[in-house]
Amino acid sequence: MADNARAKRLADLIREVVAEKLHRGIKDPRLGTHVTVTDARVTGDLREATVFYTVYGDDEDRKAAAAGLESAKGVLRSAVGSAAGVKHTPSLTFVPDALPENARTLDEALARARAADEEVRKASSGASYAGEADPYRKPGEGQEPEDGEDESV
């Protein structure tokens, strides 16, 4: 079993090689400039690699990109093997990254929070305080001093 540093270096190399090959080497129209490699992870035995990617576009573009990556898997694995120089080239698995969906969920939650803040701001714009401006009692303002208190204070 390889150490974690070696697996991390190999994962970084796989990410760079696959991204470069997708950008310049593969002429599949399904894999246009809208596919981005976000991360790569390698198992501890360096036999399998998972490549995470995102696709800019709608669901149709995502399906087409997934099919294009599956068809280009052999070419990409060969490129990784020639660049890595390891005894066994890891098999590649392509997984769509959940980052865009998570970002969309966070954006929606922030938009709801902004709308709720705006409603509170509108409701409080004409409101006044419930009490007086100075809510503390002061001796000598229409109240009798209690026993032991000095009236001169």
Q: What pLDDT shows up at residue 2?
A: 59
14-71 pLDDT, tens digit per residue, is 999 998 988 887 887 787 768 889 999 999 888 999 999 988 888 888 888 889 889 8
Tell me what pLDDT residue 136 has: 79
Looking at residue 31, the DSSP 8-state letter turns out to be G
- Strands across the sheet containing 35-42: 35-42, 48-55, 91-96
| Res 152 pLDDT > 80 | no
Classify domain 4-102 by CATH number.
Answer: 3.30.300.20
Per domain, the residue ranges of the chain are 4-102
Average predicted confidence (pLDDT) for the chain: 84
- Nearest-angstrom CA–CA distance, 36 and 142: 76
87 three-class SS: coil
- The mean per-residue pLDDT over the stretch 89-97 comes to 91
Give me the mean pLDDT over the 99-126 stretch: 88
- In the chain, DSSP assigns E strands to 35-42, 48-55, 91-96
